[in-house]
Amino acid sequence: MPEETAESIVESKAQRLNQLRRLISSSANGTMVAPDVALPDSVSSDNVKTDGFQAAMNKLSRLLANRDRSVAEVRQRLTAEGFDTKTIEQVICRACGCEMLDDQRFTHAFICGKKSLGWGSRRIEAGLMKHEIDLRSLPGYPEDFFNHDEELGRALSCIAKSRSRAKNQYQARFKQLLSKGYSAEIAQKAISQLTLSEPRNTI
């Protein structure tokens, strides 16, 4: 998976937010936005610049101010705000066409972020499923995103940082790693490596 620097992430985010502001501004002025973006047959482009559309675009701008969002998450949030289906699909089509919404970019950011929190691949995949991400269509998945040694290293780091007073340390660590989304195989190997590296009590 290609690495992103903090500077490139900030710059990319700023560019997308500026693009979204122009998108909203052109909508408010009654001009066509992203005319090359085709709307689904079920969504008419007539009167697309309605008050509801403008309000939904403003809401989308606020949602994207902090981080990337998946299309499914945006659809869910706009629905919860009370926007009708037609308006929501118009907004999503425009935003996707201008690359303000991009599920592939969201997936990359999601995986990187959850890895930094110590999540295992299984928990990450479960999280992406909630966003209706089709991992089968993601180029290079899973080879370019996960490998055995990296997964083992993150699992080892996870339990090395934690402290437990449980009498059965092995069981406590095993449950911890499973809850983080690591496989039983990775959990067993990580615990074994940590146990071997820990000082033994001598009489």
Q: How far apart are CA 37 and CA 174, in angstroms?
A: 50
Bond into 35 cis (ω within 30): no
Measured torsion, CA atoms of residues 29, 86, 132, 27, in degrees rounded to the nearest 10: 0
Confidence grade of residue 11 (pLDDT, cut at 50, 70, 90): low
Q: What is the pLDDT of residue 106?
A: 96
Which residue would you say has higher pLDDT here, 30 or 140? 140
Report whether pLDDT(23) > 70. Answer: no
* pTM greater than the 0.85 cutoff: no
Predicted confidence (pLDDT) per residue in 144-173, tens digit: 999 999 999 999 999 998 877 888 999 999
pLDDT at 91 over 90: yes
Mean pLDDT of the chain: 82
- Torsion angles phi and psi, residue 167, rounded to 5: -65, -40
Q: Is the pLDDT of residue 188 over 60?
A: yes
Helices (H), 36-99: 51-63, 71-80, 85-97
Cβ-in-10-Å burial (0-12, 13-18, 19+) of 194 comes to middle
Radius of gyration, CA atoms only, the chain: 22
pLDDT band at 202 (very low <50, low <70, confident <90, very high): very low
Q: What is the mean pLDDT of residues 20-35?
A: 49
Q: Which residue has the higher pLDDT, 14 or 57?
A: 57
